[in-house]
Structure 1
């Protein structure tokens, strides 16, 4: 994995995040030297979803209100069914995602998290993957859905499900190490 010393990464989540989809990137990015903050709509803790029941809580470092895309080099969006569905109706969450994209900063989205990319209006004409059940949502938003473990397009890194987290983290670290990405208009 690339050395991410001096890099700052935000993980945006709320209650119902898929446990491994937040914890594995958090751990891997920290091990690579990044300073990682969990950002959520509310302060305190958010509770994960682990397979078929509620999982462990994770401490929130900053609220959405306190977070600013300018303070970070990249954004990670964990999936799970509950987490992105709750976040996609939070206008501040969508604005934060859009700010990362507009600034050319890498964004990683796992499993159901591309719902947030759809809501932020950034999937049109982009290659990406997702959990198969939201493929139609991605395609209807103009995304070029691919059936791959990890798909990358101009700093946008997406993966299908938790089984792909090792490859996802490695590719995301590579994109973060590269820095900002110039993006052609959709």
Structure 2
């Protein structure tokens, strides 16, 4: 069965955290769409500077969680800060949890999940600087390379990408997790 995955990102995403999972998923034969706030392209952030542009496949207005098997949220500092202020993006995120579909977030990506109100009681990890924010939102934060909690995959930083990608692909192949919840 064909799998279609959404990567939700906007300008200022950490380049490796979008590029590496996207390539890993495409290597598995999954169709991957970059979903963003506006059509055109979005600009990556790498090594403290603006980097390459990536084409947007769909805008948030054109999609719903029904169209996808899983959701990936790359980090970066600017990217999640912008997305967490977009109510349509938050609804899109919440709908994956409601449908028990796999969701993966890395580095600062979980900031979007805080604003979507889906981390309470969930075991996860992130970039260390947002640990307090996640704990204050009710998450069970741990310092591990990759954490899987019923179809919910998180990692800390780009160094964790190999483990993150492996678990992400494993969870997508498993499909819906009835205990995946907000």
Shared fold (TM-score, shorter chain, > 0.5): yes
Query: Are residues 51 and 185 of structure 1, via their aligned partners in 2, closer, same or farther at CA, if it must alter by over 3 Å?
Result: closer
**TM-score, length of structure 2 as denominator length:** 0.98
Structure 2 contact 100–181 (Cα < 8 Å) conserved: no
Structure 2 contact 102–172 (Cα < 8 Å) conserved: yes
Structure 2 contact 155–164 (Cα < 8 Å) conserved: yes
1:87 is matched with which residue: 83, 90, 108? 83
1:120 is matched with which residue: 112, 116, 121? 116
* Alpha-carbon separation, structure 2, partners of 1:51 and 1:45: 20
Q: How much has 1:184 moved relative to structure 2?
A: 6.9
Q: How much has 1:183 moved relative to structure 2?
A: 2.0
Extract structure 1 runs of 4+ deviating beyond 4 A.
none
Unaligned runs of 5+ residues in structure 1 are none
Q: What residue is the counterpart of 2:19 in the other structure?
A: 23
1:136 is matched with which residue: 124, 132, 136? 132
2:153 is matched with which residue: 157, 171, 175? 157
Unaligned runs of 5+ residues in structure 2 are none
* Alpha-carbon separation, structure 1, partners of 2:180 and 2:5: 24
Aligned residues: 182
* Alpha-carbon separation, structure 2, partners of 1:98 and 1:24: 24
Q: What residue is the counterpart of 2:30 in the other structure?
A: 34
**TM-score, length of structure 1 as denominator length:** 0.96
Query: Are residues 184 and 175 of structure 1, via their aligned partners in 2, closer, same or farther at CA, if it must alter by over 3 Å?
Result: closer
Q: CA-atom RMSD, angstroms?
A: 1.1
